[in-house]
Structure formats: structure tokens, C-alpha cells
């Protein structure tokens, strides 16, 4: 990480924000957090340090509530490289990590109070998945994949695994050959999000395509074999970006769907489709590896098909409409119009 140095060699009262940040990042390394989480902390906090330095604020005691409120306004108005603003959720994430860092500074007596605790953070977003595929669309994507080459069979197997298991892109990239149990019909996901292992079911259809892929996989191991379930032409594990390209290409180029998204679209779609078909949210929670049930319950707001069916079956007006005979409906349509009020 760029900010890492030896800040402990400098007396605390002389340490800069940048040096304190390096010390905190070193400290969180020992907390069992994933490397990606540590990198995300740095990505969220470095802009704040740069922003402060540009305004002559070099040390932690100089950071005040008015300064933080000014930074919060900057976050709201700032545009990223793609021209898009930070979402309220992204703003909240950055300020939440900033609060963690300053609590650490307070615990170590580098500051007398934590001004970030007094900052009003943006409300937590409960956003629905932007898009999901229905079952027909999912089958269209799978069927559109070219399976006439080893890499084509690999890509079909990847998509089948994504849909069947709902595992994340990172988890697919990290899967090893030994972590698929064909006999039990399960996949062992090691060190998933939150560095937790879990076992998830995988269906017969996905196992069928995995078997077909494994029959040609040796053709890609002539120059080495990393042991990953899905590999490149050189026998190495697939990069996350490659998985994104495979999924996105299959959805928009091969199947010609206009839906945005890639690997995560299969995860969203799988959860929504299972809920539509009557799965319990707690079972979906276990499969997806969600720590909180509230995260899984977002999908219940997307699974409108089952809700629509329940509405039609139970709402009095809908039931009366379905119970009416064709003769009743014809008689109703033959009634003269009511006189219009003058």
C-alpha cells in the first residue's frame, strides 16, 4: 500500500494525517481483514487526506466538524473520472471508514475528541438490484454460448455455476478443482466475503456442464496447471476482469439482451427466481452467504411475480372477477350507460 511507512518513529504530536493513516492501515492488517478490504479502506481515505493537505490541514487535531462538513459537501458535488457523482451509499461508506480511523486515533490519544462522530451521515440506502433476468432470459443467455471450443465449454460451465450456486465473481475465480463434490452435489466456497467458508448446493444441470468442461480442461494445462476449476489457455486461474467479460459478452453480445450487469446479474437473478418459486429467505441467505437476513430480504421486493400471484388469488376484487361467469360479464357489458350528471 502506498501510504505505508514508519510513522511510529515520529512523535505522535508531529505525525501528519498521512503518517497516521499509514499506521492505521498497518494496524488493521492484524485484524484478519481481507487484502481487498484493506485496499478499500485506503481507497476511501486517501482522497480525504489529499483534500485536507490541499487546504493546509496536515495533522489530525486540525480536523474539525466544520471542516468535515465542508468535505461532505465536496463529496456530494465531486465527479468521478467517468463523470458520475458518488452515490449516497458511496458517500456514506467513505465517511464511515473515516469515522473508524478517527476512533482509532482517539483510542491512542492522538486526538482529544472524534469530530467525525458528530457528523450526520447520509441515510443508508436500501437499493433494489438494478436488473434481474427471468428464467426464459437466463436460458437464452446460457443457450447462446458457443460450446464448440474448450474455452466455450469453460464459459458455459462458468455461467451455469454462477446461476446454479449464486456465488460471487471472486468466489468463482478462487474455486479449486477439489472444491466441487459431484457425489454430494455441493461446492465448498473457501474464504468468501467476510473471510468465511460455506458449502452451497449445485444443481445437476450445472454439474453436467462442469463434467463436459472437465473432459476438455486438460487441453489447457499443457503449459501448467494452477489447480483452479476454471483456467486460461495457459493453465492459470482466471482474473476477475475476465469473468466479468465472459458474463457481459454472453448477456449482451451473444444473447443480445439489453440488461446491464455481468456475474452479479446471475446472482441477483438466481435469488429472485428461487424466491418466485417459493424458497424461504433464510435458505437464500445461507446460499448467498449474507451475514444479515435484511440483505437477503431486498430480493423479496424484486420477486414480484409470486406477490402478483398471491394478489390475484386473495384480493377480493380479483377473486370476484375470476369467479364471474362469461354470461355475467356479457350481461354487465350489455347494461346501458348510466346517465351522465348535468
User: Residue 316 and residue 236: Cα distance in Å, rounded?
Assistant: 60
- Return the bridge partners of 181, or none: 186
Query: In this structure, how many other beta carbons lie within 10 angstroms of the beta carbon of residue 76?
Result: 12
N-term to C-term CA, the chain: 79
Grid cell for residue 300: 423479496
67, burial (CB in 10 Å: exposed 0-12, middle 13-18, buried 19+)? middle
CA 264 to chain centre: 6
Q: Which residues are catalytic?
A: 168, 193, 264, 267, 290, 299
Which 3 state secondary structure label does DSSP give 53?
helix
Minimal CA–CA distance to 43: which of 77, 86, 12? 86
Residues in contact with 241: Cβ distance below 8 Å, sequence separation at least 6, in sequence order: none
Query: In this structure, how many other beta carbons lie within 10 angstroms of the beta carbon of residue 231?
Result: 21
Minimal CA–CA distance to 121: which of 86, 84, 89, 79? 89
Amino acid at each position: 500500500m502506498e501510504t505505508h511507512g514508519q510513522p511510529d518513529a515520529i512523535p505522535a504530536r508531529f505525525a501528519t494525517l498521512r503518517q497516521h493513516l499509514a499506521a492505521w492501515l498497518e494496524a488493521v492488517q492484524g485484524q484478519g481483514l481481507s487484502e481487498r478490504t484493506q485496499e478499500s479502506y485506503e481507497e476511501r481515505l486517501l482522497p480525504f487526506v489529499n483534500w485536507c493537505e490541499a487546504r493546509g490541514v496536515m495533522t489530525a487535531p486540525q480536523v474539525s466538524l466544520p471542516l468535515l462538513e465542508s468535505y461532505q459537501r465536496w463529496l456530494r458535488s465531486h465527479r468521478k473520472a467517468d463523470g458520475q457523482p458518488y452515490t449516497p451509499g458511496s458517500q456514506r461508506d467513505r465517511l464511515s471508514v473515516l469515522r473508524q480511523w478517527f476512533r482509532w486515533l482517539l483510542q491512542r490519544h492522538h486526538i482529544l475528541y472524534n469530530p467525525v462522530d458528530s457528523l450526520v451521515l447520509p441515510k443508508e440506502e436500501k437499493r433494489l438490484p438494478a436488473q434481474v433476468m427471468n428464467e426464459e432470459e437466463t436460458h437464452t443467455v446460457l443457450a447462446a454460448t458457443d460450446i464448440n471450443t474448450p474455452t466455450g465449454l469453460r464459459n458455459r460451465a462458468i455461467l451455469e455455476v454462477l446461476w446454479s450456486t449464486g456465488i460471487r465473481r471472486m468466489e468463482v475465480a478462487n474455486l479449486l478443482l477439489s472444491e466441487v463434490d459431484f457425489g454430494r452435489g455441493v461446492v465448498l466456497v473457501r474464504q468468501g466475503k467476510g473471510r468465511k467458508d460455506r458449502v452451497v448446493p449445485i444443481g445437476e444441470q450445472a454439474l453436467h456442464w462442469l463434467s463436459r468442461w472437465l473432459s476438455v480442461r486438460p487441453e489447457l494445462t499443457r503449459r501448467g496447471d494452477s489447480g483452479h476449476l476454471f483456467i486460461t489457455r495457459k493453465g492459470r486461474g482466471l482474473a476477475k476482469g475476465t469473468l466479468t467479460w465472459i458474463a457481459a459478452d454472453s448477456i449482451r453480445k451473444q444473447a443480445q439482451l439489453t440488461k446491464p450487469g455481468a456475474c452479479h446479474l446471475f446472482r441477483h437473478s438466481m435469488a429472485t427466481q428461487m424466491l418466485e418459486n417459493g424458497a424461504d429467505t433464510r435458505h437464500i441467505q445461507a446460499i448467498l452467504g449474507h451475514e444479515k437476513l435484511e440483505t437477503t430480504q431486498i430480493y423479496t421486493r424484486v420477486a414480484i411475480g409470486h406477490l402478483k400471484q398471491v394478489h390475484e388469488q386473495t384480493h377480493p376484487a380479483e377473486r370476484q372477477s375470476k369467479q364471474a361467469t362469461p354470461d355475467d360479464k356479457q350481461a354487465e357489458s350489455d347494461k346501458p350507460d348510466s346517465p351522465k350528471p348535468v
